[in-house]
Structure 1
Amino acid sequence: MPETGPTAPEPGRVGRLLPATFRSRLDLDLPDPEPAVEEAGSAFTLRAFALGTFLAAFIGGGVAYSTLYLQGSFMALGFSTVGAVCLLALLAGLVNPLLKLCGTRGLRRGELLLVYIMMVMASPIPVVFTSKIISQLAAPFYFATPENDWQSLIHPHIPDWMMPRQLGDAQFFFEGMGADYAVPWRAWLLALAAWQPFIWSLFLVMIAIMVVLRRQWIDNERLVYPLVQVPLAMTEMGEGNERWPPFFKNRGMWIGFALAATWSTLHGLYAYFPEGMQFAHEVDLFRQV
């Protein structure tokens, strides 16, 4: 009898196992399910911009306080931008349904995604960008020593308006200052104002590069962007007059969320109460023995 290889999958079966957004990226010739009817309207509304600006500022302050001052959880580092995802979950899963329950028109999907994008863009700025560039402004004067001779090699070439030149200003930045001292705002504001053209030009160049690469990544290579699937699922509108998106009614999602939240909470409590939460440390699968 002739040998038979493994049974070939039914045409289109593999594609049907993928979400609709993935199938569209892969250009599979399969019918997509009928999308839920969404309320028409532009995403670029005044309330969306106002809410996005407020939450972006909230994330900026919260990330700086949590990461730089408390040395706590990193809400903005990494590709997932945990802070933005959590706030989007509150908006889509709690605030929006409550607004609809009260008879008020909730945020449309486009508005929610606009707010989310603004939060994502603001998340890495305090820690990844601002803290790095400010520390570099004070570094040439704080780390100058007789051995490296920066005082004669570098300092004469730095204009007075570019960096705080006083050693005390740099020392206060790295070592802290007592309550009796006032922050030398004049020296820092002058330097930060001088760097604004470079900072905004850098942001503009990065956005321009993103626009240039968009066609190749999206149209030609058809990247699926897995990280985008979470906010898209959170903001997906239900059928008819459903208040809660289907994402928040998925039992599998809540089971996975409960497992991850319990694990993270136990390890967070261990950091503050190591004696009472010793078992959380003992069951850590990633702990080095």
Structure 2
Amino acid sequence: MRRFIPDTFADHLESRPGTLKLAGRTGITWRGFWTGIFLSFFLAIGAPYANTAMHATFMAWDFNTPGAIFLFLVLIGLLNVLFKVAARNGVWALGMAVVALGAYLAYYLPQEQFDVLDPGWWLASFLVVSALINLGAVLRGGSLALNRADLVLVYVMLLMVSALCTMGMSQQLLPIIAAFFYYATPQNQWEEKLRALFPEYAILVDDGEDNRAFFEGGEIPYGAWVEPLVWWAVFLSALYVVMVSLAVILRRQWMDRERLAYPITQVGRAMVQGEGQGLLNRFFTSRAMWYGCAIPLFFGSLKALHHYEPALPAFNLSWGMPYVGSQVLQLRIIFALIGFSYLINTSISAGLWVFQLIAKAESEALILMGVISKQKFVYGIAGQPYLAYQGGGALIAMVLVGLWVGREHIGGVFRKAFGGGRDVDDGDEITTYRSAVCGLLIGFGVMVGWLWLMGVHLWVAAVFIGLALLIFIGISRVVAEAGLAAVRSPMIAPDLMIQGLGANLVGTSGVFNLSLAYIWCADIRIFVMALLVNGLKLIEDLDRRSRRLVLWGVYLAILIGAIGSCWMVLQMAYRHGGINLVGWLFKGGPSTVYN
């Protein structure tokens, strides 16, 4: 019998050292941080610009993170290739710098003014500065070309920004905290019913003119935004520290002990491992990749051209099919999800279909039996509250069982954090277990204290934060194990607290403040923890020093993503008027919070 190593595994063994030498360098370098910082900022401003100014594809809507993948493809397929070419000698580097600077000046000098909100200007400026930096590096015997460790850092940073730049934070936070005064009318009676529940601290924006300029366009009253954004920055910073800490605490249990598959990570891994000594990344030599790229590119281009010229044909890629009684199966061809589904285990993908059909049948059975809830939900399984409770309970039970299964590892983590556990090694983590546990406990305390200051009963705040974190852990586990690129919780924490415990028990002030939690735990299609859990799978081949540097990259990306995206959303809202941008994010979603 012929014995051989399969090609896929051979590639894995070849790339196992991971930090491939490039120009004498191994591990993460300043070059990775330089590129990661800019691309993070570019994604932070580019993603909200795309879906507001251009009404284009959402670049950071779900866990498939198309914006991050696209920028990473540009990096490995174009920018890194140019830096490798320029690294051959000083003449090549000088030529690239001269061409970049000349083209930049030729395009921008004749213009009387340029738009600082234009992502294209930021990209062009980065290319010019990078070409000049690369010239200096080449003359000193180096280059700006990135090795695999640098690429891992950049990719993880892009994932972090994706979790914040649109749906995950900025386009939820800013419209919601500005919406109350603009949408309050005598008909909805928000002023009469809700104004008395406001905390004494300014966590909502009030510019004195009903925030009209934010929704209709005008000058930015920066003073009105400072205090609310500072308060929310405190809470959200604590939340992200807790998410990073949980990802570190659970990494070894999920990755090494339970051997979760991390299907989504295979995309980033393939791009990183394709980087070698050659000029072109091996990822671009795959025929299957180009075939997979051509099909959605054809249909997407045809759809775009159809909008400009209606005479051109367009294919309908969504259908509704009768199933049982009044139940309808929605069938849609989404090429990105088809691509990610290829990476999913067949038993899981079959289970998704089977249990979707069972859930539809169960919903119809409840209707036929007259078991209909009067409760109304907007997020999760909104149409059938009983299924929402069932799914939410199942998700929480799954998390609790998982924590019980991993009790030995989690116990070791806490022993290590508090001075014991000498047999527990945390050298391969991005931070020590002591730092992770302290981050978890302090962050949890800050969030609970923040809600208490805003008027929520202390025990309600603690239970609510714990419940929300269980849901975040559950969704992160589903993404890591099943590889679902688009997934939401069947029931969100605010609804489970308010509807499950009852408004009387939570208190009127508590109900109001937990409703504001819709900002960070309602339509949770994308968030930091789930993406970081997958990103940490990529650090397996990094040395210990590089792993610790990844933590700085994570926090740096979170900071850049938050500031850059909030700046862009503010600018676009006041320039064009929020009501002219994304309807749900600037009207439907914010109104839901206060209704």
Instruction: State whether TM-score is above 0.5.
Output: yes
Equivalent position of 1:182 in the other structure: 219
Name the aligned partner's letter for residue 170 of structure 1: N
Corresponding position of 1:286: 318
Q: Which residue of 2 aligns with 1:26?
A: none
Superposition deviation, residue 71 in structure 1: 2.1
Q: Aligned match of 1:66 in 47, 50, 71?
A: 50
In 1: Cα distance, 2:146 partner to 2:12 partner: 25
**Inter-CA distance 134–109: structure 2 relative to 1 (3 Å threshold):** same
1:200 maps to 2:232? no
Shift of 1:115: 0.7
Letter in 1 for 2:200: P
Superposition deviation, residue 165 in structure 1:
2.8
Residue 46 (structure 1) aligned with residue 30 (structure 2): yes
* 1:130-187 Cα deviation digits (max 9, x unpaired): 111112212332333335543244324333632223462433323x12xxx4221110
CA contact (8 A) 1:59 1:123 kept: yes
Could you tell me which residue of structure 1 aligns to residue 60 of structure 2?
76
The answer to whether residue 151 in structure 2 is matched with residue 107 in structure 1 is no
Shift of 1:52: 0.9
**Structure 1 match to 2:180:** 140
Q: Return the match for 1:250 from 277, 281, 286.
A: 286
- Tell me how far apart the structure 1 counterparts of residues 203 and 67 of structure 2 sit (CA, whole Å): 33
After TM superposition, list the pairs within 5 Å mapping 1:111-260 onto structure 2: 111-128=150-167, 129-156=169-196, 157-159=198-200, 161-166=202-207, 168-174=209-215, 176-177=216-217, 181-237=218-274, 241-260=277-296
Query: Which one-letter code corresponds to 1:111 in the other structure?
Result: D
Residue in structure 1 matching 2:74, options 87, 90, 98: 90
* Change in CA separation of 1:140 and 1:159 when aligned onto 2, cut-off 3 Å: farther
Please tell me the residue identity of whatever aligns with 2:300: S
Query: Would you say the 8 A contact 2:50–2:56 is kept in 1?
Result: yes
The one-letter amino acid of 1:42's match is: G
Which residue identity is paired with 1:70?
M
What CA distance in whole angstroms lies between the structure 1 residues aligned with 2:201 and 2:189?
Answer: 19
What is the match of residue 27 of structure 1? none
Secondary structure (helix, strand or coil) at the match of 1:234 reads: helix
Q: What SS class does the counterpart of residue 318 from structure 2 fall into?
A: coil
Q: Aligned partner of 1:267: which letter?
A: K
Q: CA deviation at 1:36?
A: 7.7
DSSP-derived class of the 1:168 partner: coil
Residues in 1 aligned to 2:232 and 2:279: alpha-carbon distance in whole angstroms: 47
5 Å-filtered alignment, 1:19-38, equals 19-20=8-9, 33-35=13-15, 38=20
Please tell me the residue identity of whatever aligns with 1:134: L
Q: Which amino acid aligns with 1:173?
A: F
Superposed CA offset, 1:1-56 (max 9, x none): xxxxxxxxx9x99xx769439xxxxxxxxx9644487215222x222112111111
CA distance, structure 2, for counterparts of residue 66 and residue 196 of structure 1: 25
C-alpha distance in structure 1 between counterparts of 2:13 and 2:67, whole Å: 32
Cα distance change on mapping 1:248 and 1:226 into 2, 3 Å: same
Structure 2 counterpart of 1:55, one-letter code: L
Distance in 2, matches of 1:155 and 1:69, equals: 33
Residue aligning to 1:4: none
Q: Any unmatched runs of 5+ in structure 1?
A: 1-9, 22-30
Q: Does the CA contact (< 8 Å) of 1:141 and 1:166 recur in 2?
A: no
Check conservation: 1:141, 1:167, Cα contact below 8 A. no
On the 8 A contact 2:148/2:273 being kept in 1, the answer is yes
Aligned-pair Cα RMSD in Å: 2.9
Shift of 1:287: 5.7
How do 1:4-15 and structure 2 match up within 5 A? none
Return the letter of the residue paired with 1:161: A
Deviations 1:245-287 (A, max 9, x none): 2211112221221222122111122223222x2x2x1x43436
Contact 1:169/1:184 (<8 A) preserved: no
Supply the distance in 2 between the matched residues of 1:258 and 1:212 (Cα, whole angstroms): 41
Q: How far does residue 63 in structure 1 lie from its aligned partner after superposition?
A: 0.8
Amino acid at match of 2:269: L
**Aligned residues with identical type, % of pairs:** 32
Q: Secondary structure at the match of 2:204?
A: coil
Cα distance, 1:203 vs. partner?
0.9
The CA distance in 2 between the partners of 1:154 and 1:288, in whole Å, is 40
Higher relative CO (Cα under 8 Å, sequence separation at least 6) belongs to 2
Q: Judge conservation of contact 1:142–1:167 (CA < 8 Å) in 2.
A: no
Q: Structure 1 segments of 4 or more deviating over 4 A?
A: none
Partner of 2:57, secondary structure, is coil
AA matched with 1:171: R
